[in-house]
Structure formats: structure tokens, C-alpha cells
Amino acid sequence: MQEKFVYMDHTATTPVSPEVMKAMMPYFSEVFGNPSSVYSYSKKSRAAIEKARMQVANAFNAAPAEIFFTSSGTESDNWALKGTLENLKSKGKTHLITSKIEHHAILHTAEYLHKIHGFDVTYLPVDSEGRVNPEDVRNAINDKTALVSIMFANNEVGTIQPIKKIGEICREKKVLFHTDAVQAAAQLNIDVKDLNIDMMSISGHKMYAPKGIGALYIRKGIRLENFMHGGGQESARRASTENLAGIVGLGEAMEILKTRLDDDMRRISSWRDEIISGILAKIPYAKLNGATGSERLPNNINCSFIGVEGETLLLDLDYRGISASTGSACSSASLDPSHVLLALGLKHEMAHGSLRFTLGRLTTHDHVKYLLEVLPEIVARRREMSPLWEDFLKSNA
């Protein structure tokens, strides 16, 4: 059917903005010199990279020398965890602390570090809204702890963590603190110094820059083992010929983000709240997952619907032209319920019946109204065909 194209999956990826595309174009075929070459033509490429490094650094109150370009948020996460643990193991620091609701780029890396290299990993629980208790972090730290890695905001349910308090505890305990800010960096004002962040991962395609580019902030003075080996790029800390156009695009995206973030998020958060209120008012036994208000990412709506499968709802929404998700795009092919929702305490049947809508620059208020018109009809129709819904009604009669 697809009467409309309503894109509500900005957490999965975003389109490259026209301004970013325009900034990138010369670096594909006009200014294409290898930044590591010594002749004058390549100096233009080097200058473009350093400009982008400054743009990214300025967005987070970091120094340009603290920004290292990578291929993705996943690479940045891997580098932060593996590089820190490898660097500090000779000092007896063999313990990693993270949470149960991290992105798989963190969880699978932690699993690898434990199974293959024998490092100890503590997975902290979260409350019913997906929030880590800073005191749990304090209590988990011991004399072998090398790193605490807690995501800035959850990609599925949108809950923003108490990052500043966690950073204070880590600084007090002299333990390094990394945060995966892949979702948060596109939606929140972040000051790495004020928040006591030692390392932070970001990804370009979540903020209207291209896929295949990311960055890792590493506070001055922190040493990591290199994740990639080869040439001397990125101050000899990340080998591989630089993705010149992608780096320029990331820098331009960050520059744009700084100028329009507050206005965008005011508008988008009001639509988020309108959708949440509409869903809870129009659909019986719908449940909001995650935190509310200012403790939630401005663009995130995650709701569960008892008696229906989220995958079925997605297909129905797609037929009506609405693109959404059942959770993380990296896990969308899995039939298992979301590890995030289970960690929040949801039962399997509720976790299976969840949908995530994430708003962005493509969203209009007409899209919001259309979703609230279509979704209640879809849920009601699917419930009429669902034996799970019948059983639920009988048990609650």
C-alpha cells in the first residue's frame, strides 16, 4: 500500500544531509590526495582532516588532539575496551565494569575479553526504567578494575544515564570511564570535561553524516593499545589511510548539529510526548518502556503491546508506509526478545510485543498524526486474531 513514506527509525540510521553531502563532494575526485603524502597537493587533504577534527572537538569541549577518527561507533567501542584492558593488564588491572543493557558492540567485546583473554567482567543491573545506579558502580569497583563503560543513553528505550555522577565516582576511584555516546551525541549537549568522561564513542550515520565514519575521544594522557596496526595515521594510534570524505562529512555534521540542536530537540521532544500520550490514551494495555521527560532521549518512543508480536506490527506499519523498529537495528533479525527490555524486568511476551519509533529531521507533525491514526487500528486488528490476547482478556476478566 505505502500511501506515505513516514521514516521513524532515526536511531537505526539517518540520511546524509544536503549540507554534509555538499561539503564531502570535492574530496571524492577533486581534493583526493593521500593525507600522509608530503607533496603540497596532499596538504589540502591533511588540512581538511584537521579542520574536521577541530569541529568534532569543539562540539564536545575537547581538544582536537583528543579526537581520533575510526570507521564506526563499533570500532570506537572495541578500541576503548580492548585497548584499555590490554594496556593495563601488566599493572594487574584485569576487571571491566559495564551494564546489562549496553549495545552489542560493548557486550560482545566484553564477552570476547572474558572468554578469550580471561578478563573479569561485571554486568551491572538497571532499574525498571533502564537506569544504572551510580552506587552500584562504586560498589563494583575493586583494586583490579581498569575500566567502567556505561552507555550515555540507551538506543532501544532512550533512557539517559547519570553520566556525570558515574564519571565523578570513576575519577575519585582513579578508574577510567568510557561511554558509548553513539545515540546521545546526536541529541544532547555533551561536555566531556564537565561530565568527567575519559573516552567517548560516536558514529557519523546517527547524525546525518555518512556510514563508515566514527570517532573516539581519548582524554589527553590516556594510553591505549592500538586496535589497528600498520601506518602512522591518527598520530600513530589508528593505522589505515583516512576516510577523507567521511571525516569531512562528520566534521560538517557536527558543525551543523551545534547550531540547530536545541531547536530540533525542542520540536522533536514535543512530538515524542504527543506520540507517547496518544498511544497510551488510544491503545489499551500499552506500556511505555524507559524513562520519561528530560531523562529520556528527545526522539525516542518505545512501547509494548500485550497480545501481539512486534514483528507483525512492523509489517503492518510498513504496508501503511511507516518505517519503525522492534529495537536495535543491529539485532532486528533476531527472534529473541530484546536483552534491554528483559533487563528492565519485562516478561517475554511483553518484550516480544514492543515497537520503537525514533524521530528526526525527516519527521513532520503530519507524520505524528498519521502514526496515531494508523497504529491503534493495526494493534486492534492484530489483537482480534491473537490467541494471546484472548488468553490475556480471560485472565483479567
Catalytic residues: 330
Strands 286-288 and 300-305: antiparallel
| Spatial contact of 260 and 208, defined as CB atoms under 8 Å apart | no
Q: How far is CA 295 from CA 9, 71, 229, 282, in A?
A: 20, 30, 40, 24
| Closest C-alpha among 249, 278, 216 to residue 24 | 249
- Region for residue 92 given its phi and psi (left: phi exceeds 0; alpha: psi -120 to 50; beta: otherwise): left
| Spatial contact of 251 and 56, defined as CB atoms under 8 Å apart | yes
Residues 6+ apart with CB under 8 A from 32: 45, 244
Q: How far is CA 169 from CA 60, 62, 80, 123, 182, in A?
A: 21, 21, 19, 17, 22
Task: State the Cα–Cα distance between residues 132 and 125, nearest whole angstrom.
Answer: 7
Residue type, 174: K
Looking at the DSSP bridge assignments, the partners of residue 147 are: 96, 176
| Closest C-alpha among 373, 396, 126 to residue 137 | 126
| Spatial contact of 238 and 43, defined as CB atoms under 8 Å apart | no
Residues 6+ apart with CB under 8 A from 115: none
